[in-house]
Structure 1
């Protein structure tokens, strides 16, 4: 008895069932993967920002307290703050370690150009090694205003 594959119609009968089973298994696997991905919230990275006090100063020697904060405004300990020239000029880059209260003291001496009425000092943060912090976005700047 030889059967010709050309006339055998039994394979078509099982095909829809196999497709339904594959679809159900695929949807179940996708659901498991999505619940696993949503459970990875602990790997989320938190952006840090700075809050200078005072926010506005004049040219010349000034002490600035810089607080490193997370998006909720909570202080972040263990970071390093770096102050650099923006549109106002600093003689050198100034760094300070942040204490447990999230604050760092910086002694700055910003200056403005001859016809410049205002400028900025920029801050960057090296986040602490503990925790999932990053400093990718621009931070709050210190405004330097001439009071002439």
Structure 2
């Protein structure tokens, strides 16, 4: 019974120190998260002919992201290869696309993907807005 208070004090000091280290580690985990990017194509509905499409890359707060590579590929519409461009300071990239539709196809889509800037905490894991290709009248 004689040494009990000292043991309690030591246990309390060790516990508080351990809690402080654990809290510091948990607050540092926020730096390991990634921020999802979104692509906003304009226009997002085009015809089956050569067209320039402006794609703006933004973060969740709507701020433009520069240095991201935008890749547009054929979805249900056919695209000869992939169209790529890098965003500027305004977060905008202009791509020239020339989609085609099948003989009995009235509509199709082009897929938009984003390659985040190198060394950033950005990611593009969710599906982006597709570009809709509609046949003329």
| TM range, smaller chain | 0.7 to 0.9
Which ranges in structure 2 are unaligned for 5 or more consecutive residues? none
For the pair 1:103 / 2:66, whether they are aligned, the reply is no
Task: Write out aligned runs for 1:36-115 (5 A).
Answer: 36-115=25-104
Shift of 1:30: 4.1
Given the alignment, which residue of 16, 33, 38 partners 2:22?
33
Query: Rg larger in 1 or in 2?
Result: 1
Instruction: State how far apart, in whole Å, the 1-side matches of 2:109 and 2:8 are.
Output: 64
Quick check: 119-128 or 32-41, which moved more? 32-41
CA gap of 1:24–1:114, structure 2 versus 1, over 3 A, is farther
**Structure 1 stretch displaced more, 133-142 or 25-34:** 25-34
**CA spacing shift, 1:108–1:23, aligned 2, 3 Å:** same
> Which segments of 5 or more consecutive residues in structure 1 lack a partner in the other structure?
1-9
TM-score normalised by structure 1 residue count = 0.78
Once the two structures are TM-superposed, the CA of residue 32 in structure 1 deviates from its matched residue by: 3.1
Q: What is the aligned length?
A: 137
- Superposition pairs for residues 122-137 of structure 1, below 5 Å? 122-137=111-126
TM-score of the pair, normalised by structure 2: 0.83
Specify which of 121, 140, 143 is matched with residue 110 of structure 2: 121
- TM-superposed CA distance for 1:126, in Å, is 1.2
Q: Deviations over 1:19-41 (max 9, x none)?
A: 99768845752453134312432
**4+ residue runs over 3 A deviation:** 17-28
